[in-house]
Chain A
Amino acid sequence: MQNDITGGLSNYIATQILKQPERSISNSEALISSGLIDSFSLVDLALFIEDTYGVHIDDTELNADTFDSLDQLATLIQQRQ
């Protein structure tokens, strides 16, 4: 389950946000603190999560303190499902 989620997120981030379909993102790689996902794309990520997993991520949670890797994000999603 966790793997399905990280896979889905990774695919979305690589193709839609980074526009590098071949880019692989490891489950522990820093997403926000590294600048990999820029601030303009955070809303897109939140909307994708809501549409795909039915989980709401509040705008005040769109920061590296709440999640900074695919693993952390997938855990957050599962906790709320």
Chain B
Amino acid sequence: MMDNFSQVLQKYYQDSPDQIAVHLLYSRQAEQTLTYRSLMSSACGYARALIKAGVEPGEVVVLILDHSEALVSAFWGCVLLGTIPTIMPFLSEKLSPDHYRKSLNALFEITAPSAVITRPEFAPEVQAAKAGQRDTGLRTVLIADETDSQPAAECGSGAQDSFAGLKRSAEEVVLLQHSSGTTGLQKGVALSHRAVFNQLESYSRALHLTAEDVIVSWLPLYHDMGLIAGFLLPILSGVPLVLMSPFDWVRAPYKLLQAVSNYRGTLTWMPNFAYNFCAQKIRARDLQAVDLSSWRAVINCSEPMHWRSHQAFLESFQPYGLRAEALATCYAMAENVFAVTQGGIDTPVCVDQVSQEVLLSHQEAVPMPNSDGATRMLSAGRPIVNTRLRILDPQGRELPERQIGEIALQSDCMLDGYYHRSDLTEKVFLDGWYLTGDLGYLANGELYVTGRKKDLIIVGGKNIYPQDLERLAGEVPGIHPGRVVAFGVFNERSGTEDVVIIAEIEQGTLLQSAGGKQQLTAIADEIRGRVTRGSDVALRYVKLVGKDWLIKTSSGKIARLANRAKYLAELATMP
């Protein structure tokens, strides 16, 4: 049994140096293939550069890099040195630099990294954020392009053995995972080597993963699904990974299917919206000679899963060899490293046809043989080995089958804690059970996720904290400060949530007057602009309302779920 990531990497490097670890696909240049030898040698280069910069094992290193060999190598360089890497999204052009700087500050404040590795064009931003901080301990900004990779020979067994990463204990933290926005960046999930190894072992069993598999992924590595399923699982298991950029995939989704066909891909993970996206936006001319018969599991994960999305995907790609049995589901979260349950591997994904009305009104899933008034729930499958599930009522008591409550879990791969936030860590556990904040029910041992108790918006698999959006919208002149609410509403066509913002305006008379319309449009546009530039969320719906429209809780806070219900009720009664 290996103790840490570095030992596993070293084992592959020594036993099968020419084995392919990663194929990196690009839209504007030829693909790159990294063997375990080349991965080890470029990782050594980064580890040495970090040592030279005075970075010590156990310190946090932030990686702000685009899809590239540099990102892959820098991550493993950090691991080899025994530092704790965390991957941040690369700045997209529409985000305002000012806001990105604020995000960096939010991250630096809590995680106190000692180094950042980034691209030259981005270094000034990081330096500015560094300067804006009192004393974060951030000592160095390394430029990826200037880090020489070492010849493999120099990284031979003797040289490598000196790296502290090989001596890390299994209980030590190996990496941090953050979700987006100020709130997410201040809540890094810290995972130990042991937790990740335990997850990979249990999850590999659930998937029946073998060396014959080929994982194809377009997911970003700053997201748990991308980092674990689409990066660490293959590399630490000796399974080849074909990795493309999310930036390229969203512009050319057909390239995923071409990659599966070209590399005989067997496993892919995607959020629900991607099934709709592929089904709607890929044209036949881009699928000539594409053969998807090698795909044994396309796993829907990280946002609510919908039966219709699976159907649409199947109808579009069955003619190209996609098998119905390949459609699979998974319930996962960074706090459990990744997977909690897995469905659709041993048997097709279970579909539970239940009464929509009873589901909503009585918090119970009552089977309904007729399709009238029924909704089809997709099972997320059964818990993976060493993970136990319970459904709890609001008092923390276990509920019987088919009753909806909060999903709680226990496993041997739980987070070490939220990094430097023991206050938050304490709050999410109840008697040793992790409270997910998700709602669902169990039936015949299968988990069905029905909704959320926590105020979280999930767009395209990405977690968005509404308070971050509310703060951005609340800065717009003409809006009543603090009188803004943000929430998500499912959009059947796109297969994910649309973000809605409702804001109370200071000058309520604008809503009635004929001349007020122009001013209202200007305010709404300003909200859209600020949210887009400040958060990377495309905001579709802005509703401006008068004073006292928003429902408050007894403690005076804006009640997000109640306001969401009010908005939906108004929408339903509109002519």
Which range holds the interface residue count of chain A?
A: 20 to 34
Assuming A33-B94, A34-B529, A60-B27, is B251 touching A39 (CB within 8 A)?
yes
Q: Does B538 contact A (CB under 8 A)?
A: yes
Q: How far is the CA of A32 from the CA of B541 in the complex (A)?
A: 19
Within 8 A of A (CB), among B224-275: 247-248, 250-253, 255
Q: What residues of A have a CB within 8 angstroms of the CB of B494 in the complex?
A: 40
Q: Tell me the complex Cα distance, A18–B529, Å.
A: 12
User: Which residue of the partner chain B has the closest CB to A44?
Assistant: B281
Question: How far is it, in angstroms, between the C-alpha of A60 and the C-alpha of B252 when the chains are bound?
Answer: 9
The answer on a CB contact under 8 Å between B283 and A32 is: no
Q: Which residues of chain A come closer than 8 Å to B533, judged between CB atoms?
A: 34-35
Q: Which of A1-44 contact B (CB under 8 A)?
A: 18-19, 22, 32-36, 38-44
Give chain A nearest CB distance to B271 CB in angstroms: 12
Known: A35-B533, A59-B252. 10 other contacts (CB 8 A): A19-B540, A19-B541, A32-B94, A33-B94, A35-B532, A40-B250, A41-B538, A43-B250, A59-B255, A64-B93
Assess whether B538 is in contact with A40, with CB atoms less than 8 Å apart: yes
User: CB-nearest residue of chain B relative to A38?
Assistant: B538
Question: Chain B interface: which size bin?
Answer: 20 to 34
Residue of B nearest to A60 (CB): B27
Q: Using Cβ atoms and an 8 Å threshold, which residues of chain A touch B540?
A: 18-19
Q: A40 to nearest B CB, angstroms?
A: 6
B367 close to A (CB within 8 Å): no
Rounded to whole angstroms, the CA-CA distance of A22 and B517 in the bound complex is: 11
Is A59's CB under 8 angstroms from B251's CB?
A: yes
Q: Which residue of A is nearest B542, CB measured? A: A20
Q: Which of B94, B248, B253 contacts A34 (CB 8 A)?
A: B94
> Residues on B close to A: CB < 8 A?
27-28, 92-95, 247-248, 250-253, 255, 277, 281, 283, 460, 494, 521, 529, 532-533, 538, 540-541
Show 18 A/B contacts (Cβ-Cβ < 8 Å), sorted by A. A19-B540, A19-B541, A33-B93, A34-B533, A39-B250, A40-B460, A40-B494, A41-B538, A43-B250, A43-B251, A43-B252, A44-B281, A47-B281, A47-B283, A59-B248, A60-B27, A60-B251, A62-B251
Q: Which chain A residues border B93 with CB–CB below 8 Å?
A: 32-33, 64
Interface pair B538/A35, CB less than 8 Å apart: yes
A18 to B538 Cα, complex, angstroms: 9
B281 with A35: CB separation less than 8 A: no
Across-interface contacts of A47 in B (CB, < 8 A): 281, 283
Give chain A's interface secondary structure class. loop
Tell me the A residues contacting B by CB distance below 8 Å: 18-19, 22, 32-36, 38-44, 47, 59-60, 62, 64
Query: Which of A22, A38, A39, A43 is within 8 Å of B281, CB to CB?
Result: A43
Q: Please tell me if the beta carbons of B251 and A42 are within 8 angstroms of each other in the complex.
A: yes
A42 contacts across to B, CB distance below 8 A: 250-251
CA separation between A33 and B541, bound complex, in Å?
20
Residues B538 and A43 in contact, CB atoms below 8 Å apart = no
What CA separation (Å) do A60 and B28 show in the bound complex?
7
Across the interface, which residues of B come within 8 angstroms of A38, CB to CB?
532, 538
A34–B539 CA distance with the chains assembled, in angstroms? 13
Give the docked Cα–Cα distance between A22 and B529 (Å).
17
Q: When chains A and B are docked, how far (Å) is the Cα of A47 from the Cα of B281? A: 8
For A40, the chain B residues whose CB sits under 8 A away are: 250, 277, 460, 494, 538
Residue of B nearest to A43 (CB): B281
Q: Which residues of B contact A64 (CB under 8 A)?
A: 93
* Chain A residues within 8 Å of B541, by CB: 19
Closest to A68 in B: B93
Cβ of B250: which chain A residues have Cβ within 8 Å of it?
39-40, 42-43
- Asked whether A35 and B283 contact (CB < 8 A) given A40-B277, A60-B27, the answer is no
**B-chain residues with CB within 8 Å of residue A44 when the two chains form the complex:** 281
Inter-chain contact B529/A43, CB cutoff 8 Å: no
A44 CA to B250 CA, complexed, in Å: 11
Q: Whose C-beta in chain B lies nearest to the C-beta of A37?
A: B538
CB of B446 to closest CB in A, whole Å: 31
A33, B253: Cα distance in complex, Å? 21
Q: Which of A19, A32, A36, A38 has the most CB of B within 10 A?
A: A38
Residue of A19, A43, A44 ringed by the most chain B CB atoms within 10 A: A43
Give complex CA distance A72, B179 in Å: 36
Q: Given the complex, which residues of B lie within 8 Å of A39, measured CB to CB? A: 92, 247, 250-251
Contact B253 A43 (CB under 8 A): yes
A62 to B252: give the CA distance in the assembly, Å: 10
